[in-house]
Amino acid sequence: MKSFFFTLTLLCGLATVTAQSVAITVEAPTDTTVISRHIYGHFAEHLGRNIYGGFYVGDTSEIPNREGIRLDVVEALKEIEIPNLRWPGGCFADTYHWKDGIGPVEDRPSILNVWWGNVKEDNSFGTHNFLNLCEMLDAEPYLSANVGSGTPQELTDWIKYTTHPAGSSPMPDLRAENGREEPWDVKYWGVGNEAWGCGGNMRPEYYADLYRRFATFMTGWQNDELYRIASGASGDDYKWTEVLMQNIPKNLIEAIALHHYAVIDWAAKGPAVDFTENQYFITMKEALKMDELIEEHVAIMDKYDPEKRVDLLVDEWGGWYEVEPGTNPGFLYQQNTMRDAMLAGATLNIFNNHADRVKMANIAQAINVLQAVILTDEEKMLLTPTYHVFRMYVPHHDATLIPLSFESPMYTFEGESLPAISASASRDDEGRMHFSLVNIDSKQSHEIELDVAALGITGVTGEILTAETLQEHNTFDNPDQVAPTDFDGTEMSDGKLRLTIPPFSLVVLQGTK
């Protein structure tokens, strides 16, 4: 008999208060909206220990590697089926000249990384290293081009160097001389980064014209279409989106980016671990704002593009706190707690529910920077709570969105309230159903009731990600402090699946017919 699988993703704590009930209505899909696997993308900027010591240790390192790439990192990222990886920035992208990172390593010029710590960048990790890494990960590369200090010629040369066959022009021939005969498959190209800020402090009108110039000369091999991504707005800068949608012809653009971080206060971001409930509440308030931002930007896009030909990409998102004490402030190294698991789960649900426009997202960043999924210390490596959320959401990759409707109870703190429960659902190609729910409430548990009678569910198994406090996290001395365990807290009766979600909790349930 055919099986149905249910993935209910919740985020978990032990101290509970009287539970409130939430009845969730599962609606039959009315269209074929697909949750793109690219929503679960990642970001690798030349920042702190993301590249060097994170992805790359060099081929002389005693840490197991292949051509300098850490194998433990590759194995961990393949487990969460990383779909794409964005590189080399970020702010770093608009000071990066790709030809500095090709050819014999000993001949490559060094530069100063003026954005992140004023440290020396020796360019030992370059285009070949990154694109070969993506092949190892079975992930699609997303290259951010230098628009702030670069030229259209530099970008078109990079496209030819990476994607055109040897013998077709000087750039592919140069690639072959550097050891790579066959081209790589590079579809995704960002035309600058944060043009309103570190990418040039441009006005939207100026950037729109500059984008048109760069995009005009971006061509693939044999008319293969590239996916060109405009540098989009920061947060609620709706004018930026309006100007770009008005002034960029639709034949020159495939997507607009959006950046939003859940920041308590840019002047006082607060600690990554020893935070208060007030700081937690503000973080979640900023995280949930993502839903409003997407709706407002999409409304503008719909006005100029009702056919939805232009996608929205949230290619930088996540939590941003003060760096860990004693670390370089320019390296943005922070710990990762159950707060970050809450932030990730709720945000990914938002992206899933906007899958008709949101086609890619990139959490910032992959290793040792901001809301990382992996932390390293020399030969040591650990997986963060955020990593476990990404693993539990894998069933949503390229699955069909299932609409859900419910009224969420509120998480209230000092007179302010936020929706405590968020949810998303999908059906994969084999007919398996997946539901992900998040309870951000710091104290209150909630009873969830899903009416699954029409699906004939008879058995349920699951696992739970839980912690005693929101501040709990993994360390190199105790890397499995926060890790999933078996969960048997569900009941089935009268065609309804019931469970209690503890405060700040994540549960993955699998139901069979």
Helix (H) or strand (E) holding 190: strand 188-191
Q: What is the pLDDT of residue 336?
A: 98
- Read off the pLDDT band of 459 (50, 70, 90): confident
Cα–Cα distance for residue pair 373/194, rounded to 1 Å? 23
Q: Tell me phi and psi for residue 375, to 5 degrees.
A: -120, 145
Q: What is the pLDDT of residue 374?
A: 98
Q: What is the pLDDT of residue 4?
A: 34
Q: What is the pLDDT of residue 201?
A: 98
- Read off the pLDDT band of 412 (50, 70, 90): very high
Is residue 42 within 8 A of residue 348, CB to CB? The reply is: no
- Looking at 2.60.40.10, 3.30.70.141, 3.20.20.80, 3.40.109.10, the CATH number of the domain 37-397 comes to 3.20.20.80
- Residue 54, helix vs strand vs coil: coil
Ranges 15-29, 173-187, 232-246, 401-415: which has the least confidence: 15-29
Catalytic residue list contains 194: yes
Domain residue ranges in the chain: 12-31+402-512, 37-397
Is residue 183 within 8 A of residue 172, CB to CB? The reply is: yes
176-200: average pLDDT: 97
Indicate the fold that domain 12-31+402-512 takes in CATH: Immunoglobulin-like (2.60.40)
Q: What is the pLDDT of residue 3?
A: 35
Give the relative orientation of helices 127-137 and 152-163 as an angle to the nearest 10 degrees: 50
Percentage, residues of the chain above pLDDT 90: 81
Pairing of strands 421-427, 433-439: antiparallel
Is residue 319 within 8 A of residue 370, CB to CB? The reply is: yes
Q: What is the pLDDT of residue 14?
A: 41
Total residue count of the chain as it appears in this document:
513
Checking if the pLDDT of 486 tops 90, the result is no
Tell which wins on pLDDT, 143 or 167: 143
Catalytic residue list contains 296: no
Instruction: Calculate the alpha carbon distances from 120 to 103, 114, 132, 150, 440 in Å.
Output: 19, 9, 24, 20, 41
Closest to 373 (Cα-Cα) out of 152, 171, 94, 85: 85
Record the tokens describing residue 3, joined without a space: 């099986």
Checking if the pLDDT of 455 tops 70, the result is no
Q: Beta-carbon neighbour count of residue 54 at 10 Å? A: 23
250-273: average pLDDT: 97
Tell which wins on pLDDT, 277 or 434: 277
Percentage, residues of the chain above pLDDT 70: 94
- Residue 5, helix vs strand vs coil: coil
Cβ neighbours of residue 31 closer than 8 Å, sequence gap 6 or more: none
Cβ neighbours of residue 276 closer than 8 Å, sequence gap 6 or more: none
Placement of tokens 């004693």 in the chain: 326
pTM: 0.95
- Read off the pLDDT band of 70 (50, 70, 90): very high
| Range 384-387, long-range pairs (CB < 8 A, 24+ positions) | 384/336, 384/340, 384/473, 384/474, 385/336, 385/337, 385/338, 385/340, 385/341, 385/465, 385/467, 385/473, 385/474, 385/482, 386/336, 386/340, 386/341, 386/343, 386/344, 387/76, 387/80
Return the beta strands (E) in 364-419 as ranges: 374-377, 380-383, 399-402, 404-405, 410-413, 416-419
Cα–Cα distance for residue pair 92/114, rounded to 1 Å? 8
Checking if the pLDDT of 276 tops 90, the result is yes
Q: Is the dihedral of CA 405, 406, 411, 417 positive or negative?
A: positive
Q: What is the pLDDT of residue 224?
A: 66
Checking if the pLDDT of 440 tops 70, the result is yes
Q: What is the pLDDT of residue 85?
A: 98
Residue 367 DSSP one-character state = B
Of 194, 254, 286, 463, the active-site residue reads: 194
Q: What is the pLDDT of residue 187?
A: 96
Of 140, 254, 316, 463, the active-site residue reads: 316
Record the tokens describing residue 461, joined without a space: 């198994």
Give the relative orientation of helices 238-247 and 277-304 as an angle to the nearest 10 degrees: 20
Please provide the average confidence, as pLDDT, over all residues in the chain: 92
40-62: average pLDDT: 97
Is residue 367 within 8 A of residue 73, CB to CB? The reply is: yes
How far does Cα 207 stand from its chain's mean position?
A: 25
Cα–Cα distance for residue pair 117/203, rounded to 1 Å? 27
Checking if the pLDDT of 6 tops 60, the result is no
Closest to 290 (Cα-Cα) out of 309, 312, 322: 312
Closest to 179 (Cα-Cα) out of 125, 123, 132, 122: 132
Interval 390-403: pLDDT, tens: 999 999 999 999 89
